[in-house]
Amino acid sequence: MTGLLAVSLHFLVNGDFWINVGVLATTYGIFALGIQLNVGTTGIVNFGQAGFMAVGSYAMGILVVRYEVSFWWAMLLGIPVAIAAALLVGLPSLRLRYDYFAISTLAFSEIVRYLADNWDGLTGGNLGLFGYTDTWTDASARIDAWLEKIGIGQRFLLPLLVVNLALLLLLTALVALLVRSPWGRVLNAIREDEDAARALGKNTFAYKLQSLSVAAALAAIGGYMLAINISILSPQNFDPILTAYGFVIVILGGLGSYLGVIVGSFFLIFMLEATRYVELPLSDARVAAVRFMIVGAVLMALVVFRPQGLFGKSEELALRAR
Amino acid sequence: MPADALLSVRNVSKRFGAIAAVDDVTFDVAEGSITALIGPNGAGKSTLFNVVTGFVRGDRGDVLLDGESVFRRPPHALARRGLVRTFQLTKALSVMSVLDNMLLANPRNRGERLGLAALRPLWRDEERRARVRARELLQVFGLAAKANDYAGTLSGGQRKLLELARALMLEPRVVLLDEPLAGVNRTLGRSLLDHIEGLRAERRTTILFVEHDLDVVMRHSDAIVVMAQGRVVASGTPAEVRRDERVISAYLGTVTTDE
């Protein structure tokens, strides 16, 4: 049996493997932070996070490539564009029941992807949009020099990892701070019972819009990380499966837990990347499929044996089940 | 509208398809009074509550709070103007602590604004004041020991108490209670009624409540409004209503309207 499913563990001592896991996990982590705020804290089911990510990153890329806006300004401007998209989706659909809202966000996400695929003149269509990374390349070289100075040395993507990690920790702390504030208490109340919150004088519609807007802003920031990492934006990078990964992270980490988002994203990306090294006497296409079966089995086991997630509270789960 | 009416319902109607759930209902709730709204199942009491509190959009009519129209205003705006309700099925926010349930209802916390939420020094003092107020109320309602427990762990009766205490955090002028005694045991029920009477005595809070227990209604209310099939069939003091033929027939199920 051991010969049939062999895993070479050499990748675990390979620095590049871990840097790659780190860059992806931090990107997904910031992306999933927004899903946690919406789903875990506010109780609104946002299936369109990949769409907000696309809007933010394409806005940045288009501003740089087509309008020659500076990279930093473009990143700053991409956030309000993503928030505008959140308002566009949220204003008509956040008054609907939660399941209709969920479908609306998914539809929005797909509309954005098809637009990106077909509006060639603006987005580059399926050939992709590129040429926005020059400023980053310079910045990256400076971070490299600094890393060299403090004795860490140069490695591909290490500067991006450093920036991503700092941003993930900073933004997670910020969102956790917001969630623990009176503002976050209103969001929690909306999740528990929106009518009760309204009866206590809270304009729940406005709060849901704010929650969605913050999520969209986080998606945009995650989108910049993705855009820098892959250096070419194509519509297929924003497939709805991305949002599904975000949900997996949130459920893995525990609904409502922000530490869980960080741990969950590293856990999921590690699983997805590590299973690439599974060696089987099968064709490559079949190995690729088996990989996802392994990941799926591990996730199922986790949900069965720890339904509240890694950092969720079991007593909260029990109260919800009542 | 009589001079002492704090809440005035004027010709309010609400249809759901072919059904006139509330049909041209008019009555006043005097300031500082405990007014009961009674009637058989399906009389339209809950729909009327929902229209008055903004949860359901009324078709016609008007609702006046202290002389000002609040008809079709959203629920949160009404709550902020001092018209606060509870629900027939209690809405304790289960996965929040009892104390957080109370603090949520504080109407003037700047920390509830997204732009200020991260700046704790700006709202810390108000939060502290609210916490003192919340603990006092929990003390009065016998829930102080439960302050840090999840509200979902409270018994049904305790949740009713919490809902009333929470409503008081808003310092309401009128409290609308939808079947406050439903599913509450006798002892807790009596304590709830004491609280309601105490409220009126100490704060001059006006109370409008829906209740099925006629014994309680007769004993604890100053005025009674009787509804049947969406309409007001009688109103007056308990003594007047008790003698009213239309009330008796409404409860026996053979409604005789004037037309």
For the stretch A251-266, pLDDT in tens is 999 999 999 999 999 9
CA distance A201 to chain B (A): 4
Q: What is the pLDDT of residue A1?
A: 42
Domain for residue A314, yes or no?
A: no
Is residue B76 a contact partner of residue A184, using CB atoms and an 8 Å limit? no
Query: Mutating which of B89, B93, B127, B168 best tests the A interface, going by the most A Cβ atoms within 10 A?
Result: B93
pLDDT above 80 (res A198) = yes
Cβ-Cβ contacts under 8 Å, A322 against chain B: 94, 152
pTM above 0.80, yes or no: yes
Q: What is the pLDDT of residue A155?
A: 81
Is residue A228 a contact partner of residue A237, using CB atoms and an 8 Å limit? no
Q: What is the mean pLDDT of chain A?
A: 91
Q: What is the pLDDT of residue A226?
A: 96
Q: What is the pLDDT of residue B156?
A: 87
pLDDT above 50 (res B210) = yes
Please tell me the total count of domains within chain A: 1
Q: What is the pLDDT of residue A285?
A: 81
The pLDDT-based confidence of B187 (bands split at 50, 70, 90) is: confident
Domain for residue A30, yes or no?
A: yes
Nearest residue in A to B53, CA atom: A199
Q: What is the pLDDT of residues B213-251, one digit of tens each?
A: 888 899 999 999 999 999 999 999 998 888 888 887 777
Q: What is the pLDDT of residues A211-263, one digit of tens each?
A: 999 999 999 999 999 999 999 999 999 999 999 999 999 999 999 999 999 99
Structure tokens at A205: 């519609």
> Inter-chain contact B105–A174, Cβ cutoff 8 Å?
no
Per-residue pLDDT averaged across A148-159, rounded? Answer: 83
Domain holding A84: CATH number? 1.10.3470
Q: What is the pLDDT of residue B2?
A: 58
Structure tokens at A281: 């006497």
> Inter-chain contact A188–B127, Cβ cutoff 8 Å?
no
> Inter-chain contact A316–B150, Cβ cutoff 8 Å?
yes
Placement of tokens 């473009």 in the chain: A74
* Interface residue B3 vs chain A (CB under 8 A): no
* Interface residue B57 vs chain A (CB under 8 A): no
Ranking A42-51, A284-293, B120-129 by mean pLDDT, the lowest is: A284-293
Alpha-carbon distance of B111 to B121, in angstroms, equals: 9
Q: Which of A182, A199, A319 sits opposite B84 (nearest CB)?
A: A199
Placement of tokens 């941003």 in the chain: A167
Cβ-Cβ contacts under 8 Å, A174 against chain B: 118
Q: Residues 6 or more apart from B188 whose CB is under 8 A from it?
A: B157, B158, B160, B161
Q: Which amino acid is at A63?
A: L
Domain for residue A75, yes or no?
A: yes
Q: Which CATH class is domain B5-92+172-252?
A: alpha beta
CA distance B123 to chain A (A): 9
Q: What is the pLDDT of residue A277?
A: 80
> Inter-chain contact A182–B114, Cβ cutoff 8 Å?
no
Ranking A65-69, A278-282, B108-112 by mean pLDDT, the lowest is: A278-282
pLDDT above 50 (res B259) = no
CA distance A288 to chain B (A): 41
Cβ-Cβ contacts under 8 Å, B79 against chain A: 198-201
CA distance B132 to chain A (A): 16
Cβ-Cβ contacts under 8 Å, B109 against chain A: 182
pLDDT above 50 (res B176) = yes
Q: What is the pLDDT of residue B98?
A: 97
Alpha-carbon distance of B44 to A55, in angstroms, equals: 48
Domain residues for the domain of A256 are 16-267
pLDDT above 60 (res A312) = yes
Query: Mutating which of B95, B99, B160 best tests the A interface, going by the most A Cβ atoms within 10 A?
Result: B95
pLDDT above 90 (res A163) = yes
* Residue with more model confidence, B40 or A108: A108
Cα torsion angle, A300, A304, A308, A309, sign: negative
Alpha-carbon distance of A147 to A144, in angstroms, equals: 5
The pLDDT-based confidence of A283 (bands split at 50, 70, 90) is: confident
Alpha-carbon distance of A295 to B55, in angstroms, equals: 46
The pLDDT-based confidence of A11 (bands split at 50, 70, 90) is: confident
Domain ranges of chain B: 5-92+172-252, 94-153
Q: What is the ipTM of this complex?
A: 0.91
Long-range contacts of A314-321 (CB under 8 A, 24+ apart): A315/B150, A316/A255, A316/A256, A316/B95, A316/B150, A319/B94, A319/B95, A319/B150, A319/B152, A319/B153, A320/B94, A320/B95
> Inter-chain contact B113–A214, Cβ cutoff 8 Å?
no
Nearest residue in B to A210, CA atom: B114
Alpha-carbon distance of A153 to B7, in angstroms, equals: 75
Q: What is the pLDDT of residue A286?
A: 82
Q: What is the mean pLDDT of chain B?
A: 90
Domain for residue A112, yes or no?
A: yes
Choose among A42, A33, A32, A30: nearest CA to A211: A42
Alpha-carbon distance of A47 to A1, in angstroms, equals: 41
